[in-house]
């Protein structure tokens, strides 16, 4: 005798599974496809926009020794590099003094520790911005490097008519460790999301490792005033606040990338992720809904897939939908990984995607008990 209750449940689950499958195709092709399948226009090099490159350094002597010369030697007509030495107690001051004798375009600003007023990175960054002599600002970090001498030039190509912000890709230096691949996969997925939404006129964040905006925009919106109480957010919260459907340019040519030193341990990365997630509650409601949608369809798809494995009569159809989804997913990520120079991550797409479905809820729980995030000690 046929159990109509079981049949009804099975059909409902299968219908939902098919619907979520279609939703995922919209994500892959309608959103991620903006990055994966977009051909970046080969725009003429524009060296006519004077640029102030700004980075903050707290105890970054070793990184500055290694990376700063490449930054100061960019193939660009008019630019300055402003390094804000933020209360460093290592050899940062000595390194900057030596390089200032070699590179006339290096400008240093020193922020001293105050016993009565504790500040974060945003204060140091504001000092750097106020000291910038040019309208176009380009942000990066002390542990960041671009292998291309045309990095500044490539990022400036994003300033079409009316653009006030340019989003770039901030990658991490590659190594063979599994942790390195996990960190880079997480960064890769986040980058596809924010770059794609920027191309769709729905920009919600950028990364301070590779981000440009106009000085006028910064002061017109009172800088970081609305979220100054948070140590993080100088990049994502600022862009979330000031971006609109018309003022954001996106660049992800290979010469526009930067690469940073990744966390060396899982604990270090975990703490870093918690700091970043503490800014999420202050995103615009539309941004939070969009991100919730992207993550929810993952949980629904895998949850429904596992549930349908218990029903034998539709097992073949369930498996076919899952396989078809996997093929389309890999096609999208294959193109995206080529664009962002992360081809070695392709084989990790499914296992890391599933792993991150467990890591992110744990991070949100840990975030609820975490102390307010701090700028480097």
- pLDDT digits 0-9 by tens, 214-265: 999 999 999 888 888 887 888 999 999 999 999 999 999 999 999 999 999 9
Residues 61 and 181 in one domain: yes
Spell out the residues 6+ positions from residue 1 whose beta carbon is closer than 8 angstroms to its own. none
> What is the pTM for the complete model shown?
0.90
Joined tokens for residue 247 = 């003022």
What percentage of the chain reaches a pLDDT higher than 90? 77
Residue 377 lies in a domain: no
Q: Is the pLDDT of residue 117 over 80?
A: no
Q: What is the pLDDT of residue 119?
A: 75
Residue 252 belongs to what domain range?
51-272
Instruction: Domain count for the chain, please give it.
Output: 2
Q: Give residue-wise pLDDT tens across range 20-53.
A: 999 999 999 999 999 999 887 666 656 689 999 9
Q: What is the pLDDT of residue 2?
A: 46
Q: What is the pLDDT of residue 215?
A: 96
Residues 222 and 348 in one domain: no
Angle made by CA atoms 188, 258, 31, in degrees to the nearest 5: 35
Under 8 Å between Cβ of 337 and 345: yes
Mean pLDDT across the chain, nearest whole number?
90
Of 219, 246, 272, which marks where a domain is finished?
Answer: 272
Residues 174 and 103 in one domain: yes
Helices (H) and strands (E) in the chain, counts: 13, 10
Residues 236 and 332 in one domain: no
Angle made by CA atoms 29, 31, 34, in degrees to the nearest 5: 80
Query: 299-304 — which CB contacts under 8 Å span 24+ positions?
Result: 299/357, 300/16, 300/20, 301/17, 301/20, 301/21, 301/24, 301/325, 302/354, 302/357, 304/13, 304/16, 304/17, 304/20
Residue 127 lies in a domain: yes
Task: Please report, in angstroms and rounded to a whole number, the separation of the first and last CA atoms in the chain.
Answer: 70
Segment 337-349 shows an average pLDDT of 95
Of 272, 303, 329, which marks where a domain is finished?
Answer: 272
The domain that contains 133 carries what CATH number?
3.90.550.10
Residues 226 and 337 in one domain: no
Phi, psi of 293 (to 5 degrees): -60, -45
Residues 201 and 297 in one domain: no
Angle made by CA atoms 100, 102, 104, in degrees to the nearest 5: 60
Q: What is the pLDDT of residue 91?
A: 92
Residues 190 and 296 in one domain: no
Residue 6 pLDDT grade (very low, low, confident, very high; cuts 50, 70, 90)? low
10 Å Cβ neighbour count for 55? 26
Residue 372 pLDDT grade (very low, low, confident, very high; cuts 50, 70, 90)? low
Query: 52 pairs with which residues across the strands?
Result: 80, 137
Angle made by CA atoms 340, 343, 344, in degrees to the nearest 5: 130
Residue 279 lies in a domain: no
Residues 18 and 158 in one domain: no
Residues 93 and 232 in one domain: yes
Q: Give residue-wise pLDDT tens across range 350-366.
A: 999 999 999 999 999 99
Q: How far apart are CA 137 and CA 157, in angstroms?
A: 13
Q: What is the pLDDT of residue 358?
A: 96
Residues 14 and 70 in one domain: no
Q: What is the pLDDT of residue 8?
A: 83
Q: What is the pLDDT of residue 47?
A: 65
10 Å Cβ neighbour count for 157? 22
Residue 143 pLDDT grade (very low, low, confident, very high; cuts 50, 70, 90)? very high
Output 250 or 377, whichever has higher pLDDT.
250
Q: How far apart are CA 206 and CA 258, in angstroms?
A: 13
Q: Where are the alpha helices (DSSP H) in the chain?
A: 4-25, 33-36, 61-72, 92-102, 121-131, 151-156, 178-199, 215-220, 236-242, 266-277, 285-308, 315-339, 349-369
Nearest to 358 by CA among 305, 310, 303, 287: 303
Q: Give residue-wise pLDDT tens across range 167-220.
A: 999 999 999 999 999 999 999 999 999 999 999 999 999 999 999 999 999 999
């Amino acid at each position: 005798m046929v159990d109509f209750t079981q049949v009804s449940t099975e059909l409902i689950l299968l219908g939902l599974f098919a619907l979520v499958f279609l939703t995922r195709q919209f994500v892959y092709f309608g959103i991620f496809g903006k990055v994966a399948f977009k051909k970046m226009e080969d725009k003429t090099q524009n060296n006519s926009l004077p640029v102030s490159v700004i980075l903050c350094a707290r105890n970054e002597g070793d990184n500055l020794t290694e990376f700063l010369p490449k930054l100061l030697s960019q193939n660009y007509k008019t630019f300055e590099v402003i390094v804000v030495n933020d209360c460093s107690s290592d050899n940062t001051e000595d390194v900057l003094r030596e390089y200032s004798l070699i590179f006339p375009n290096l400008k240093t600003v020193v922020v001293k520790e105050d016993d009565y007023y504790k500040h974060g990175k945003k204060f140091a960054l504001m000092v750097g911005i106020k000291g910038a002599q040019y309208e176009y600002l380009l942000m990066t970090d002390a542990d960041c490097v671009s292998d291309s001498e045309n990095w500044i030039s490539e990022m400036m190509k994003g300033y079409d008519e009316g653009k006030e912000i340019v989003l770039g890709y901030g990658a991490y230096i590659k190594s063979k460790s599994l942790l390195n691949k996990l960190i880079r996969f997480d960064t890769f997925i986040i980058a596809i999301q924010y770059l794609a939404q920027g191309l769709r006129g729905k920009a919600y964040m950028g990364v301070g490792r590779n981000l440009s905006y106009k000085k006028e925009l910064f002061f017109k919106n009172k800088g970081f005033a609305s979220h100054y109480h948070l140590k993080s957010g100088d990049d994502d919260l600022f862009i979330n606040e000031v971006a609109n459907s018309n003022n954001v340019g996106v660049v992800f040519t290979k010469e526009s990338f930067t690469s940073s030193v990744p966390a060396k341990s899982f604990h270090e990365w975990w703490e870093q992720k918690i700091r970043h997630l503490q800014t999420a509650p202050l995103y615009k409601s539309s941004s939070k809904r969009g991100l919730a949608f992207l993550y929810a369809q993952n949980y629904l798809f895998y949850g429904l897939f596992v549930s349908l494995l218990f029903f034998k009569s539709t097992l073949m159809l369930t498996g076919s939908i899952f396989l078809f989804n996997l093929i389309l997913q890999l096609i999208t990520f294959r193109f995206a990984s080529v664009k962002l120079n992360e081809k070695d991550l392709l084989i990790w797409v499914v296992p890391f995607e599933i792993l991150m479905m467990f890591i992110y809820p744990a991070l949100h729980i840990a975030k609820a008990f975490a102390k307010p995030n701090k700028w480097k000690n």
